[in-house]
Structures are given as C-alpha cells and as structure tokens.
Structure 1
Amino acid sequence: MSTAAPLWQRGARIPAGAYGFGHAARMEWIKLRSLRSTFWSLLLVVAGMVAIGVVTMANTKAPSAAKAATFDPTNNVLAGVAVGQLLIGVLGVLVVTGEYASGSIRATLTAIPDRRLVLTAKATVYGGISLMVGEVVGFVTFFAGRAALGDGVPRPGLGDPGVLRALLLSGAYLGMIGLIGIGVGAITRHTASAIAVLVGVTFVLPAVLGGISGTVVAKFFPTMIAANSLAVAKPVSDMLSPWVGFAVMCLYTAAVLAVGGRLLARRDA
C-alpha cells in the first residue's frame, strides 16, 4: 500500500489561501533569485567591502608607541561595512516595494491572505541571504586586507581577543540591515521614500546629531553602532559595548518588522 505524495511533490496547484510557510518561503526565494538586481547588488557588496578593506589596510601605518594600545586593524579592514549596509538595505527595500510598484503584490496576497506570513517569508529568505553574504564577505575581507598590510604593521589574527567576535557581529549587522530594509519597505510601500528613510537613519541623522551633541545620541544609530561597537576588536570610549550595540540593533530590527507587519495587515494592497 502506497501513501499519496503531497500536492507540491505531484506538481498539483495548491489552492489559493492554502499556502503554508514553506510554500511562501519557496515562492519568495524564486522571486528573489529571478531578479538580476539581486545578484548584482550582492556582488557589489562583496566587491565594495573587499576593495575598501584592502585599500584601507594597504594605507594603514604602524602605530606609534603612544597609540599602540588602541590600534585596531580589525576595525580598519571592516570599514567597507558602511557601503555594504547601504546596498543590502536598499535591496531589502526593493524586495517589498518592487512588488507594490509592479502590482504583483495583489497576486501574492491573493494566494497568501495571511499578510504577516508573507512578510515573515520575505524576511526569512532575504535575511538569511544577507546574513550569509555578510559573514562570508567579512571573513574574505579580513584575510584579503590582512595580506595587504605593509611590513612592520601588526597583523590581526582570528585568535586575537575580539577579532572573531567583530567579524561575526559585522556579518550579523548586515543581515539585520537587510531585515530593516524589508520592514521600512513594508511601512512606506514606496521605493524612493523607503530609501530616503534608510539613508537618513543610517547616514544623515548620525552625522547631524554627532555634530550637535557628539556621541551622546549618535552612538545609538546603526552606522555608529557598526563602526564603533560591532566592528571593533578593542572597545571604543564613549560608545556602546559590542554586545550592547548588538542588542540595540536586534531591538531596532524587531521593532521595524513588527510595525511593518502590522501596517501590511491593516492596509489595502
């Protein structure tokens, strides 16, 4: 006696509204990998971060005796995170707003009426890709930049205090920025406004507030957290500690996705 195969294995069409999380995630994966912008954007993340890391390390000089205690080449090699976050965040925005611009969001929500499930699937698929890319490019950049250091400059190693943590948290940061892009896209539903919000929060506001109040407020913004808390092997004074910065980023990510999910469920497509 044989057991009938599931519908998806038999190639049968699944009735509208009968999709589960697995179906929704597979659908989002197919949509994401079919877009050429996905490949090129992620390739730019890798190329940009590696190039910036190598150039930065090639221009890093041996510290003086007075600065040796605070010298942090790991932070230097991860300087490209600022560029990587922009590309990954913008692509996260497009994952949501692109469907609104084309009108395909109506077909998606017809097949999957549970709108929070749709957002969860998008966040899971794209967040997972962003995290994977972030971790891989972080380690590739580290080893490429380490090789570019000049003679006499101390070379960081994975076994040095704080180095492995900085690499892992930097990759996690890029994954969270991708999720924030998803959430902002769900909140605004408009590409230009979502990108403006993302750039404003990550670049403009920290610079403005940093000029007005120093690090008192600016240290709580994502870019400052990445540069001075997550991507450091040695603590930076007047900044959040690495794990506090990571916790703050987790709260930001959860809050933006929660608001995006609520608005997506309440508004018309």
Structure 2
Amino acid sequence: MAAPAPPAPPAPPGGARADRRVRFGHVLSAEWTKIRTVKSTFWTLLAGAVVLIGFSALWALAFSASFDDMSEHDRATFTPMLPTQVAFYFGMVVFGALGVLVITSEHATGMIRTALTAVPRRAHYLAAKTAVLGAVVLLVGIAVSFACFFVSQGILASKDLDGSLGDPGMARSVVGGGVYLALIAVLALGVGTLLRHTAGSVVAVFVLMFVLGIVGGFLPGAWGEKVNKVLPSNAGNAILSPVRRSDQLAPWTGLGLFALYTLAVLAAALALFERRDA
C-alpha cells in the first residue's frame, strides 16, 4: 500500500500571483543596472558632452572674433550664454539619440520580450525606464551645461564679453540647460517607443529638434514669428536665455511648453505600447 502523499504547503497570501508580483523599486533597480552597464550609454553621453562643450568654445571664439563687426542690434542682444545656446542645437540631437537607443536597442535584440515577461505591467516598465533615463541625463546635463558655461566665458573674457553666475538669470540658464537635455532624452524615448526602430527614431528626433527650428526661421510675417516661437526646439531653448528675447517665449514658459510636448509624446507612446505586441 502506497504511503499517503505529504500535505501541500500552505499557499502564500494572495495566491501564486504574490510570488510573481514585481515592485516598482525592483523595476527601477533593473533599469539602472541596464543603463549603467551598456557601453553605448557611456559613449553617447561622452559624445554629447564633447559636442556641446566643443561647439560652445567654437561659437565663443566666433563671437569674440566678429563682435566688433556685428550690427548695433546684434551687439545689444548678445548675452554671455549665446555660444552655449547655439551649441545646444547641435548637442541636443546626440542626447536625443541616447533616449532612442534606451528603448530601440531592446527591440532590436529581442530583450524587450524578456523584460515584459518579467514586468507584465507595461506602464511600470516604461515609467521606470523614463525615470532612470531622465535622472541620468539630468545629472550629466547639468554638469555639461556648467562646463559649457565656464569654457565659453573663459574665451569671451578676451573681449570683456563674459558673464558670471551671479548675473541676473545666468544660474537659471545654466541649470535649465541640464533640465532641457533631460526632457530631450525623455521625449526621444517616447519617439523610440512609438517607432521601435533606431534609425527611423533618430531621424524623427533630428527633424523634430533640429530641422523644424531651421524651417521656422523662414516662415513669413507675424504669424510665422508666432509659430516659430512655439516650435519644440525654439520653445525649450528659451530657458538658456538669461533675459527674454523678443523672438522667443519667456524662459520658463518655453521650457514648460517643451515639457508638455514631451508628456504628449510619452502619453501616445504608452497608449500604443500597451496595445501592440512586443
């Protein structure tokens, strides 16, 4: 006669689902591990820093050399942040590429399926990825923004065009630059989530953040000036101006509008991410 089977162990509170429950903190930890161990993160951040600091220095040299030949209007509207402000138009595409790669690289390798098996709640997965990416780029972006400022001011000092962090609006501009870069990366993450293809997403970010700003400058008449102010890159770039310029929105208004653009892209990305297969 066979021995009776041993009694089954008591079920944990909440059933088997409790064993499979993943806390949001765990997802954050996993995303932090991924972003800091992938080599492309380091190299993309380094490339963005080099581009921004290098172009800030180049434009500071250009403004220093040509300042005496500028028109009265251009000299009157010049600010010590202008070299960095121009440099951001080039560097922001690199930080956008980082935001794209954070999500599209997982689609390219198939890792996204493994990730979503471990984290079935897609909203938590995308929120954790967004939070980690935003925090990393914010910290790096602020450091890079300060480096751009000090490098460019050292060059502008040769013509007494430099400023200091104590000048009105200057500290806000420098710190705001880091916030702007973080928003760019998060917006690019949303674009990458929507398109799921690295090359296509990078091109889309390039058009959105760089090409549209150039096209906006050619729009005619008063309506063209109004539209140009609210284009994504022009709106966000306003935070880099120590004082409000006539061709831009107020600094915080512009950054706020860019944040709304970012939220809209993320909302669309989440809605589509929830509906389609990995």
Using the size of structure 2 for normalisation, the TM-score is: 0.85
In 1, are the aligned partners of 2:216 and 2:231 still within 8 Å (CA)? Answer: no
Matched AA of 1:78: Q
The aligned residue for residue 177 of structure 2 is 170
> Which of 194, 197, 213 is the matching residue for 1:187?
194
What runs of 5+ residues in structure 2 fail to find an aligned partner? 1-17
Matches for 1:150-229 after TM superposition, within 5 Å: 150-213=157-220, 214-227=224-237, 229=238
The aligned residue for residue 257 of structure 1 is 266
In 2, are the aligned partners of 1:225 and 1:240 still within 8 Å (CA)? Answer: yes
> Which of 111, 118, 128 is the matching residue for 1:104?
111
1:234 and 2:248 aligned: no
| Counterpart Cα distance in 1 of 2:121 and 2:24 | 10
The aligned residue for residue 4 of structure 1 is none
Q: CA deviation at 1:113?
A: 0.2
**Secondary structure of 1:121 counterpart:** helix
Q: Over aligned residues, Cα RMSD in angstroms?
A: 2.0
Per-residue CA shift, 1:1-25, capped at 9, x if unaligned? xxxxxxxxxxxxxx87421111111
Q: CA deviation at 1:223?
A: 1.9
1:145 and 2:152 aligned: yes
The aligned residue for residue 45 of structure 1 is 48
The aligned residue for residue 248 of structure 1 is 257
| Counterpart Cα distance in 2 of 1:168 and 1:150 | 21
Using the size of structure 1 for normalisation, the TM-score is: 0.88
Q: CA deviation at 1:151?
A: 2.8
Aligned length: 255
| Counterpart Cα distance in 1 of 2:77 and 2:213 | 23
In 2, are the aligned partners of 1:78 and 1:141 still within 8 Å (CA)? Answer: no
> Which of 111, 114, 131 is the matching residue for 2:121?
114
What runs of 5+ residues in structure 1 fail to find an aligned partner? 1-14
| Counterpart Cα distance in 1 of 2:234 and 2:261 | 14
In 2, are the aligned partners of 1:16 and 1:111 still within 8 Å (CA)? Answer: no
Q: CA deviation at 1:206?
A: 2.8
| Counterpart Cα distance in 2 of 1:231 and 1:115 | 35
**Secondary structure of 1:211 counterpart:** coil
The aligned residue for residue 10 of structure 2 is none
| Counterpart Cα distance in 2 of 1:212 and 1:60 | 26
State, as a whole percentage, how many aligned pairs show the same letter: 36
In 2, are the aligned partners of 1:53 and 1:141 still within 8 Å (CA)? Answer: yes
